[in-house]
Amino acid sequence: MNYLQDIKTILASARQKAYAAINTAMVEAYWKIGERIVLEEQNGKDRAEYGKELIKSISKELTAEFGKGFGERVVFLMRQFYLTFPDFEIVHTLCAQLSWSHFKRVLSVTNEKARMYYLQEAAAQTWSIRTLDRNISTLYYDRMLASDDKQLVQDEMNAKTKALQAEDFIKNPMVLEFLNLPAGKAYTEAELEKALIDNLQAFILELGKGFAFVSRQEHIRTENSDFYIDLVFYNYILKCFVIVELKTDKLTHQDIGQLDMYVRMYDDLKRQADDNPTIGLLLCTDTDKVVAKYSVLSENKQLFC
């Protein structure tokens, strides 16, 4: 029955190509409609009033000719689409990977650099509309800029290469609203860990680029003791392991010391010759800035809180 699977694969591939071609054509068409509206507006005497009437008239005619989907709001967004992206080459390049809904979502982003960052990341990382919406709503770009190396985002957008550091990939703070844990109520580290595992895809997206899940409660055995690391990831861009320890109580020196010990143990027992030094991330609900300042966190570039 292999031939049936081959036929199904061929058909599925053809449909996907057809959908992609239609999507590209429609995105480009909406840009051209927006361009034509703006050019027509420039001929109007009272541009503001003329523009409103023009959009209303276009919406009415398109709806009568092509059916639903061309309300005044949609026509207005086409106009806004052109004004936001006057360079057609940008649209032409990205519309093969992104839908009209992706472009519509970023129109509300006023920062041009942030807008382009979201589009380029959505295309490169194949973000769904839901993922794009969440990243915009939680100020993903701004939190990236808040990292120690603020030039990283600019370098990424310009497709430049540089020696990436661990701090470039760790966002502070992290936004974990997708866990749906009760606000204002205490919960255990085990409950937090389970919520992260249950929402693993969203958590990896929040961590940043290049993360892959390795293990949960990884057992590390020494000659005299047994230890269990909450979560272990691998970052294929930084080429290193990232261990995550979860704390739901107030940050203490002991927590930081434990994380430092785990990082050293992992480097000694698990790290391969071609791996870079292990990174430790302490994910806590209550950060003590004084403890963080006067602990090994302030000097160790492999530990983050």
Percent of the chain having pLDDT more than 70? 69
DSSP-assigned letter for residue 272: -
Q: Where are the domains of the chain?
A: 2-96, 109-163, 169-304
In CATH terms, 169-304 corresponds, of 3.40.640.10, 3.60.20.10, 3.60.130.10, 3.40.1350.10, to 3.40.1350.10
Tens of pLDDT, residues 219-263:
887 777 888 888 888 888 888 888 888 776 677 778 788 888 888
Residue 122 tokens, joined:
């959505």
**Bridge partners of 245?**
282
| CB contact at 8 A, 278 and 233 | no
Q: Is the peptide bond before 173 cis (omega within 30 degrees of 0)?
A: yes
Q: Write the pLDDT tens digit of every residue in 282-295.
A: 877 655 543 444 34
Burial class (CB in 10 A: 0-12, 13-18, 19+), 8: exposed
Q: What is the pTM of this model?
A: 0.51
- What is the tens place of the pLDDT at every residue in 189-216? 666 666 666 666 666 666 777 778 888 8
Nearest to 195 by CA among 177, 211, 213: 177
Question: In a 3-state reduction of DSSP, which class is residue 85?
Answer: coil
Range 45-54 average pLDDT? 72
Tell the burial category of 80 from Cβ atoms under 10 Å away from its Cβ (0-12, 13-18, 19+).
middle
Average pLDDT over residues 114-130: 87
Which pLDDT value is given to residue 297? 47
The band of 78, judged by pLDDT with boundaries at 50, 70 and 90, is: very high
Q: Is 244 within 8 Å of 207 (Cβ atoms)?
A: no
pLDDT of 77:
92
**Per-residue confidence at 296, pLDDT binned at 50, 70, 90?**
very low
Beta strands in 147-288 (DSSP E): 211-221, 226-235, 240-250, 279-286
Q: What is the mean pLDDT of the chain?
A: 75
> Which pLDDT value is given to residue 141?
85
Token duo for residue 59 = 């919406």
Residue 254 in tokens: 């002991």
**CA distances to 117, 144, 180, 287, 305 from 172, in Å:** 19, 8, 20, 11, 8
